Amino acid sequence: MEIIDGGIASPIGFAAAGMHAGLKKAKKDMAVLISACDAQTAAVFTTNRVKAAPVIWDKGVAEHGVAKAVAVNSGNANACTGRQGLLDAEATAETAAAFIGTDKGKVYVCSTGVIGVPLDMARIRKGIEDLVPSASADGGKDAAEAICTTDTFSKEAAATVMIGDRKVTIGGMAKGSGMIHPNMATMLAFISTDAVISHETLQTLLGSTVEDTFNMISVDGDTSTNDTCLVLANGMAGNEEIKLGTEECNAFEEAFRYVLGTLAKLITRDGEGAGRFIEMNVVNAPSKKDAKMLARSVISSSLVKAAFFGSDANWGRILCAMGYSGADFDPLLVDLSFSSPKGTIEVVKGGEPLPFSEEKAKEILLEKEITVTADCHQGDGAATAWGCDLTYDYVRINGDYRS
């Protein structure tokens, strides 16, 4: 695998564009991704029972396993908008399809922003009319900017891998800063690849990879109505078809996981108002399932997040969060430590507190990136989750989000 500087339009045969269509006051707010040919596709959606109109539309597209384009708007989630919202999602797909030259059933539609406000369809239609002709292999950065809402930076990743004698490229972009929580953490992620791979194989890889990436992050404990992760594979690299269980599939999966994992961590680093990025490692748990439950519980705890905001080595909150996670583990066997570029400090050994320097702990926890490790000493289960601290700015940003 080789990491490259690129994004959603890096693979062969993909074009993207982003622009300001007037849905937001000034920033870019509409994007398109177009494949030169029909692409195999895979998708994962929010687990929230309240699903936005685009999610409902996209589930229908995903069932067919083939798509050609994605149209995205930010500034308006088109969620809780009733029958009109469903009609508007379909109309968006129909408009994009007409300008691209495909069937509306091959166009994904995604929206993100304020809930409960009807879409301005005149601006949506005009935006698509302007975007489609301008889409190009150089348009990835504009598209990544256009899908953002409260994000402070756009999120892109790309990698290449050799499959036989053919170079396969995987690119991606994502948005997310708040309303982020495991079980599809408001998050949108788009992945493109020029690999030859079936819908079934792609869906299997996406499902397992999402479990270890996007489902292992949390900013604020809120699962959105619009969470969507889409993958399009147009096969233009011309490689032999990638099949599960092969060396080629393992190589592809490594690059695929890199792209999704990088986007997941970028979302967490950009948590609304966040000042610190927290990595929670659980090792030697009874099972991987238990390890994941423990790690997710810690990075989802508001009290843990608040302690990191204050650079407070309040390890009791971490053990507490592990205790209510529902995981099977023995607290009397747990070791806990904090680490950062300033060093490592052990605070718990075998479930009992260790004497440690509060001054040294403060120095470690004042860093922008902090790792917590919990060793359960009960098996070989391991998992990593990513989160951030909880700051005053989070309340400020979300207190006046609609205005």
| Domain layout of the chain by residue ranges | 2-269, 277-399
Which pLDDT value is given to residue 403? 44
Which pLDDT value is given to residue 274? 63
Nearest-angstrom CA–CA distance, 27 and 232: 27
What CATH number does the domain located at 2-269 have?
3.60.70.12
Residue where the block lists tokens 């997941």: 264
- Quick one: CATH architecture of 277-399? Roll (3.10)
Task: Say if pTM beats, i.e. exceeds, 0.85.
Answer: yes
Which pLDDT value is given to residue 185? 43
Q: Which amino acid is at 333?
A: L
Among the listed residues 32, 307, 279, the one whose alpha carbon sits nearest the alpha carbon of residue 147: 32
Count Cα neighbours of 180 within 13 Å in the Cβ-side half-sphere.
36
Which entry of 46, 95, 169, 186 is annotated as an active-site residue? 186
Among the listed residues 211, 227, 208, 214, the one whose alpha carbon sits nearest the alpha carbon of residue 48: 227
As averages over each run of 10 residues, the pLDDT of the chain (403 residues) reads 98 98 95 98 89 95 97 95 97 98 98 93 98 98 94 94 98 77 67 98 96 81 76 98 97 98 88 78 98 94 90 95 96 98 97 96 95 98 91 64 48
Which pLDDT value is given to residue 61? 97
With beta carbons less than 8 A apart as the criterion, state whether 86 and 92 touch: no
Nearest-angstrom CA–CA distance, 128 and 226: 20
- Residue 208, SS3? helix
Nearest-angstrom CA–CA distance, 300 and 310: 17
User: Which stretches of 348-391 are DSSP H helices?
Assistant: 358-365
Which pLDDT value is given to residue 149? 86
Nearest-angstrom CA–CA distance, 17 and 143: 5
Q: Give the DSSP per-residue string, 97-153.
A: HHHHTS-GGGEEEEEEEESS----HHHHHHHHHHHHHH-BTT-HHHHHHHT-SS-SS
Nearest-angstrom CA–CA distance, 212 and 147: 24
Nearest-angstrom CA–CA distance, 324 and 308: 19
Which pLDDT value is given to residue 152? 84
Q: Does the annotation count 41 as an active-site position?
A: no
Which pLDDT value is given to residue 389? 84
- Residue 157, SS3? strand
Kind plus residue range of the DSSP H or E element containing 231:
strand 228-233
Q: Are strands 343-349 and 107-114 parallel, antiparallel or unpaired?
A: unpaired
